[in-house]
Structures are given as C-alpha cells and as structure tokens.
Structure 1
Amino acid sequence: MSNERKGFGDQKREQKSDTVEVMLSAVTDGEIIPIEEVQDDLFSQKMIGDGYAIKPSSEIVYAPVSGKLIEVADAKHAYYIETDGGLKVLIHIGIDTLLMNGEGFQTSLRKNDRVEKGAQLATFDQKLISEKGFNTVIPVIVLEHDSVLSLETLPEKKAIARETDALKITLTR
C-alpha cells in the first residue's frame, strides 16, 4: 500500500547502488495520506514538491528531520528545514492558514535555529482552525532537489509523532 514516485517532474532515474535512504517521521499524531489526496492544488499537484500529508489528531508538530530552520513563517504556520545534505523540507500546518495571521499558532523557534529530528516545532489550535473554515491537514513537502531518486509514502491510519515513518526518500550520494 505504498505510494512510490520516481524523481521529480520529468526527471526519471534508475536506482543505483550508490544511494542513501532518508526517512521522514510523522510530524504529529494522526493519519498519513498521500500528498495527492490533499484538497489544495498547490500540494496535491506537487507544484512546489512532493511528499506526504497527515490528518492530525494532536496539536503538536515535530521536526521530521534534523537540520537548520531556513524559514519560519511570520504567521507561524509554515517551517522550512534544510538538512545537512541540502534537502529542504516544508512543514505546512493547515491549508490557507496563512490567512489566520498567526492566530492559534505558537512557536519559540526562529529562522536559522538548528532543530533535531523529533524536536517540537509548534503547537496549533485545531478547533480554532476548523471554526475559521480552514482544513487542518498538514502537508510535508520535499522541495525539488537533484539528488532525489524516489519518494515513497508510507500510509498509516494511526501514526504516532516522531515514531512512525511517513516518507522514504532515496537519494544519490
């Protein structure tokens, strides 16, 4: 029941023995779904990259990988982490939640902070997001990168934050 995609866009490459796998963990408790199921074209059509999404059952979001926070949105709804290997990962809490201007989101992190896999990124008010008419699904996107050979979503109905593997990324070395 995995959802494997080779490369990004039109870039098709065969896997070679000189590859490395990176696992992204679930960013919160909930149900992991393929990115294509997100009800927003920007994410479902992979306009900024490929990845997975999670329907949250918790209000705490954790880093799926270790790296440097290269961006923390002013509205505290989006976080970009760059790994030591140069892979960039976007964690976007909710759909169109930028329009909430930070209401219902909390973080103490700032741009250029170092985060370890499993560290808390933010908390959010799921009820408030829903009451304001926004979708609470959390897309986790790997931005396009030349070393990415394939991505495989590992759907899980009862994912546990920091413990459940959500996305397997195969990279060239």
Structure 2
Amino acid sequence: MFKKLFGKKEDAPTTVSIYSPLSGNLLPLEQVPDPVFSQKMMGDGLAVEPTDGKVVSPIEGEVMQVFPTKHAVGLKSKNGAEVLIHIGLETVSMEGKGFEAHVSEGSKVSVGDPLITFDMELVKEKAKSTITPVIVTNGDDLGTLEKKQEESVAAGQSEIMTVSAK
C-alpha cells in the first residue's frame, strides 16, 4: 500500500509536521473530558478547543476515512503517520446534522485544504463539548512524537506536532 501511494519508500519523508486542523486553543490530551482520549486509548496527540467550525488538513497525504456522520476524519501522511481528527465529544449522536464534508476517502490533501465544516453553535447545543482531539493512531508503528506547547493556534498554520518514521 505504501509503495502504491507514494512510490518508493525512500521517497517518504522521515519526519512529518502536523499542523493544527482548527483555529483555537491547544490543550494537552490529558485535559480532554473523555477517558477514551485523555487516557490515550486511541493514540497520543493533542486537542484543540476551536474558535470556528472550519477543519483543514493538518498534513500532506491522503484521506483514509470520512466517518458517515462526518464528525471525524482519518488521514495518512507520506511517512505513514495516521491522524484522526474527532470533532467535538459525543458528536456521533448528532448523526451528521450540522457537519459538511469537503473530501472523501482517497482524496489527496495538502496542509490547509478544507476537510469538514460544522455548525459550532449546534455542536455546543447538542454535544458534550466542541473540544477536538487530534490523534496519531498508529504511534506504536512510528518513531518519536513531539508535541508543541502553544496556546493559541491557527488552522493550517501552527505546527502542533512532529512525528518521525522508525
């Protein structure tokens, strides 16, 4: 699969920057009020408390999955890092209401490309929180994950993590 996506393995970068997919305030994953994320059951990463409803690609790569409810999207970077963006907490129960996907499975994306837009007010009303975890789900297959300590981040502009290949 890797060869099919990106040519020879040597063509893949060894370290990939992951940018914030949303504008807002950056939070340690441990502060997310959901144990699935705060206890890193899905992987390590950070979270963003968004200031608007625009989600952009944090990496250059490919869309692996857009959840049917459009509340989450999975991406794969050129070095193999798999990134999950889960918009809000307990948003799956909204059944896609208030979410619009701008990509589909197999879409190639660059940093800053629109992925999903969502109605912030509706999420605030219907879900537990707008806090959006950004998770590297296959960290065990990769090398070092370094997280930034910024407070305020801009979508597609603020580097929040770097991850290296093994």
TM range (shorter): 0.7 to 0.9
Q: 1:74 to 1:63 in 2, by over 3 A?
A: same
- The counterpart of 1:21, out of the listed 1, 4, 15, is 15
Q: Per the alignment, in what secondary structure is the counterpart of residue 156 of structure 1?
A: coil
Letter of the aligned partner of 2:55 in structure 1?
V
Answer with 27-36 or 138-147: which moved more: 138-147
Deviation at 1:146, TM superposition (A): 4.4
Answer with 145-154 or 94-103: which moved more: 145-154
Residue of structure 1 in register with 2:117 after alignment: 123
- The counterpart of 1:144, out of the listed 128, 134, 138, is 138
Q: Per the alignment, in what secondary structure is the counterpart of residue 168 of structure 1?
A: strand
Q: Per the alignment, in what secondary structure is the counterpart of residue 102 of structure 2?
A: coil
Residue by residue over 1:20-56, the C-alpha shift from the partner in whole angstroms, topping out at 9 and shown as x without a partner, is: 4321111111011111111111111111111110010
Deviation at 1:83, TM superposition (A): 1.7
TM-score, normalised with respect to structure 1: 0.83
Q: Does the alignment pair 1:160 with 2:154?
A: yes
CA RMSD of aligned residues (A): 1.6
Residue of structure 2 in register with 1:82 after alignment: 76
8 Å CA contact 1:32–1:159 kept in 2: the answer is yes
TM-score, normalised with respect to structure 2: 0.86
Letter of the aligned partner of 1:63 in structure 2?
S
Residue of structure 1 in register with 2:31 after alignment: 37
Structure 2: distance between partners of 1:49 and 1:96: 18
Q: Any residues of structure 2 matched to 1:43-82 within 5 Å, and which?
A: 43-82=37-76
Residue of structure 1 in register with 2:97 after alignment: 103
Shift >3 Å, 4+ stretches? none
Q: Per the alignment, in what secondary structure is the counterpart of residue 151 of structure 2?
A: strand
Structure 2: distance between partners of 1:69 and 1:28: 17
Residue by residue over 1:68-123, the C-alpha shift from the partner in whole angstroms, topping out at 9 and shown as x without a partner, is: 11110011110000123222110110011010000111113111111112111011
Letter of the aligned partner of 1:165 in structure 2?
E
More helix per residue:
2
8 Å CA contact 2:15–2:165 kept in 1: the answer is yes
Q: Report which structure shows greater RCO (CA 8 Å, sep ≥6).
A: 1
Structure 1: distance between partners of 2:150 and 2:119: 23
- Structure 2 stretches lacking a partner, 5+ long: 1-12
